[in-house]
Amino acid sequence: MNEADPWPHDESGLDLPIAAAGLCKGINAKEQTVDFSFWITAEVDTATNPSTPGWREWHERSRVRERLTLEAFEGVRRLVRGDRGDALIGGHAVAEEGEMDARPPPVPPSHRTWFLAPAGKLYSWYNAYEALHHVRRLHGPMRQAMLKPPKDGMPRVRNVPAPPLSVEIAANPKFVDFLVKNFNEPQLAAIKWAAAHTLRSYEREGDQSHEDPFPFTLVQGPPGTGKTQTVWGILNTLHCLLFQRYYKSIHDAIARGTSRATGTEFTAALDDDDAEWLRSAREDGEEDEDKDATVRDLYTFLRDTTGIERGQTYGVYKPRILVCAPSNAAVDNLLERVITKRFHQLTGELYTPGVVRVTASDTVVSDAVGPVTTSRMVEELIEMGKSDGKKFDGARWNAEFHKHAKFVKEAGNFIKYKEHELVELTMASAEPRTVPAEGDDMEPGEEIDTRNQKSHGIIQEILGINENRNRAVTEMARLAYLLDNLGPNAHHVTRNQRIDGKVDRQMKYDQQRAIRKVRAGLEASFVDDAEIVFTTLTSSSRKVFRQLTHGFDTVLIDEAAQANEMATLIPFLHGARRCVLVGDPQQLPSTVISKHAQQVSFQRSLFERFNELGAEALLLSVQYRMHPEIREFPSDEFYEGRLMDSACVIKRRPEPYQQKESGLGTYRIFDAHGLEERTTSNSVINHFEAILVVCIYKKIDKVLRDGTGESAEGKVSVVTPYKEQVTVIRMAFEQLCGGVGAAARLGVQINTIDGYQGQESDVIIFSTVRGSGDGGIGFLSDIRRLNVAITRAKKALYIVGRVGKLRAAQAGGEFTVWRDLVQNAMDRRCIVDDADPRTTFADVVPVEEQERAMSKLTRGNRRGVGFKPLKPRHPENPQPDNQRVCREWLAGKCLYGGDCRFAHEKRYDAKSKKLCRDFMMGKCHRGAECVFSHDAAMGG
């Protein structure tokens, strides 16, 4: 196999075909070969001219076939060339009607040179590509804001008072009290801005001349500032206000006598782009009976078979919110908050909004989130139709169907009665009345008010019963579809019974196919019925979102700074008109391995790009996590010194290990002189730091037991940039703390920085790993990774690393964050010099145990990687008589530690009894550490 690089940045590979998908069949270790089987779509060897008539139709069909291949084998590449492009592989063309010329390729694939490159899972990237391909479908103002952001229309929110609360909120003091009690000032400002921006866009819908030029709201949540709490508040407020406006619109429509159009959900007009997007979800080359059912199909089937359809919408659509995040963990964290804390109505009562979680059936979710996942809801409804757990008899489906049908009939009669009552009341109100009727003591104005109140009450009753009726109709549609496809009279059952009178293998196959079809339709119905839908950015491209009756006008993206811009496009395809982006561009971006992609800012998020263009984000500036000593540096370095400590942080009771007498403190950098080692997997490890980390943990545990009687279990976490170092630290715990799984038993979480983002712990020990005298610092050069690492701790942060290496790593470059961090620690006297665990922590872990553990970790045969021999120390005469005291050490600036050729101890000989000249001039900053006398009497 040729080892040349065939990818686009190498011109030699521009004319080579790419296999649509590849599957590894086996590995021959002896011959060092890999056997692959390739599946090649016919389009791979076809060069097409985009100007050929019918090209677009062929192109769309090609994309559908490739997507099916991708879903099966996770690999795809199509070759499409212009008429003046690179050299063509074959002379194929597209016929007039859009069909591909079926002539065989001139060169068979078996005679070509093949190139192999690992591509990983392409599903997410393909979805992002699909979103980019359909960017024209975005709502006009939103697309314009993304492609050509308005120079003068970017939001300015810094030092600008937050807009007042809406009329609906101001009229409900209980909801105002809820906001004031549960959110601090910056959080409340973010809620006000998001609500004002969203409602302003909502009010302008349909008026293209007054569309908001920038329909985005940016909220920046630094570590520990209550970002999830704020998002919960934003969702609660938006949900209340949007539905308040929705019900008011329906109320006004009924009051005005607006003509109603039954089933407008099914006949809503679609623009050309929406119609194309929906067609692409259905025209996938499958037979009719294999197509996934859409929500419209369910309601249409119910209408055709029973004559029942959903109630009136009065020309007003129910508002829907789509909540996304890059990861499942972030989505579930937010959804769990909504489920457990619920929402507050404007009147103050608690309520649970209609929420669902869209995810793959095999995704692991929490117990709180599980019941609202669409896969669980679908399975529960399907299982309800089985009598003995295996066979579908449909008895319970049928019973539930008739129960709902009875309610629908009664509700319809009630609505007709109330509508008649409303008409009579309206007609009576239209009659002119200037004097009270006989026996009527009310004035004409009072009578009008009374009739208006009655009219309002009738309309509220109609709205309530109509909403309940619609829910019942939705359940009937689901049950009818289940009975038709899986019930005892399902068409595939009767067909097979006609063939041989018994259930055979073909029937089981047909039943499985029917179940797949029904699952898709039911899932779509649950998503369509929900008020708030939670999913990941990638999952928002699932086919279910193209089977709904209408999309989502409001989108909220949490952790928006962790997603690249292409991934962020996906949820906007579902009709979004306004968006709230919540994240922190000072923390980790999306992971992009390719250096070339990084150079062109492929990892940059939409949030970050808007920031760079001048859009100001609402900063959540009150932090509830870090001790002030820990908060000081990240606040100054990353957030312009704008972070403030909450009252609960300031009043927090100090722990014994935070006391200076413990030998630890709240914030320390341990100057570790161990050497790093590069592994066969090209990762980096440092055994010296691993031993030191365990010793720090045992010191914390000892100090806690001596001070409060508690242990350190569950209170300490370890973070490091490298996966291999995670393994080494776990092995060190095993050697020094009781065998296999010691860290887990002690409740110590050991993770990479990337894996620990979003979490927190009382104590964080940060192993930087890099300790050699040459080379760079790898992952540590990403300053956002540093920010994440040092902002996870609540009460204490201990950084382990070679100070001189870290300080010099970026001294000549553009970024000097590590140098600033070290200098800040020096100024605050927070550096532990020459932190050899055998001398610093010999009281908690005997030297013999440490050296034995080191020998096992390094397997006793790696020179220079483990411990260096300890030099004998003599407290009465620690250094030769002719060696001077290190002035840099006295000033707290020495970077050499144990390698320094000057003494790091205060010694007084005959010469050092001289009077300090700097002291006499008022310039000495060494204080008690000064080797010269500060006794003015000596100068006499």
- Sign of the four-CA dihedral 716, 722, 727, 728: negative
From residue 785, give the alpha-carbon distance in Å to each of 586, 678, 706, 719: 9, 20, 35, 11
Contact between 318 and 531 under an 8 Å Cβ cutoff? The reply is: yes
Radius of gyration of the chain (CA): 35
Tokens representing 152 are: 């003068």
**Residue range 650-858 in CATH 3.90.245.10:** no
Other C-beta atoms within 10 Å of 352: how many?
10
Beta pairing class for 761-767 and 716-720: parallel
What is the C-alpha to C-alpha distance for residues 357 and 814, in angstroms, rounded to an integer?
44
Enumerate the β-bridge partners of residue 677. Answer: 685
Contact between 390 and 485 under an 8 Å Cβ cutoff? The reply is: no
* Host H or E run for residue 527: helix 505-529
Of the ranges 39-48, 692-701, 817-826, 849-858, the best mean pLDDT one: 692-701
Nearest Cα neighbor of 375 from 502, 229, 573, 520 is 520
Other C-beta atoms within 10 Å of 795: how many?
22
Give the list of residues 6+ apart from residue 262 with CB closer than 8 angstroms, or none: 309, 310, 311, 312
Residue type, 354: G
From residue 826, give the alpha-carbon distance in Å to each of 209, 822, 832: 59, 6, 10
DSSP state of 574: G
Contact between 211 and 204 under an 8 Å Cβ cutoff? The reply is: yes
pLDDT confidence tier of residue 598, bands split at 50, 70 and 90: confident
In this predicted model, what pLDDT tens digit does every residue of 460-475 receive, in sequence order? Answer: 888 888 888 888 998 8
In this predicted model, what pLDDT tens digit does every residue of 174-221 receive, in sequence order? Answer: 999 999 999 999 999 999 999 988 777 555 555 555 567 789 999 999
What is the C-alpha to C-alpha distance for residues 637 and 817, in angstroms, rounded to an integer?
8
Sheet containing 761-767: order of strands: 749-752, 716-720, 761-767, 793-801, 667-671, 831-832
What percent of the chain lies above the pLDDT cut of 70?
68
Stretch(es) of the chain classified as CATH 3.40.50.300: 137-367+530-556+564-618, 650-858
137-367+530-556+564-618 homologous superfamily? P-loop containing nucleotide triphosphate hydrolases (3.40.50.300)
Tokens 């010999």, residue? Answer: 842
pLDDT of residue 364: 82
| Helix/strand/coil (H/E/C) assignment for every residue in 733-749 | HHHHHCCCCHHHHCCCE
What is the C-alpha to C-alpha distance for residues 834 and 900, in angstroms, rounded to an integer?
10
In this predicted model, what pLDDT tens digit does every residue of 424-457 receive, in sequence order? Answer: 777 766 555 555 555 555 555 566 667 777 877 8
- The reported pTM is 0.76
In this predicted model, what pLDDT tens digit does every residue of 722-739 receive, in sequence order? Answer: 989 999 999 999 999 988
Residue type, 231: V
Tokens representing 219 are: 């909220």
pLDDT of residue 902: 72
From residue 843, give the alpha-carbon distance in Å to each of 462, 633, 800, 890: 77, 31, 19, 26
Contact between 332 and 366 under an 8 Å Cβ cutoff? The reply is: yes
What is the C-alpha to C-alpha distance for residues 183 and 59, in angstroms, rounded to an integer?
52
From residue 36, give the alpha-carbon distance in Å to each of 28, 68, 71, 364, 695: 12, 20, 18, 32, 49
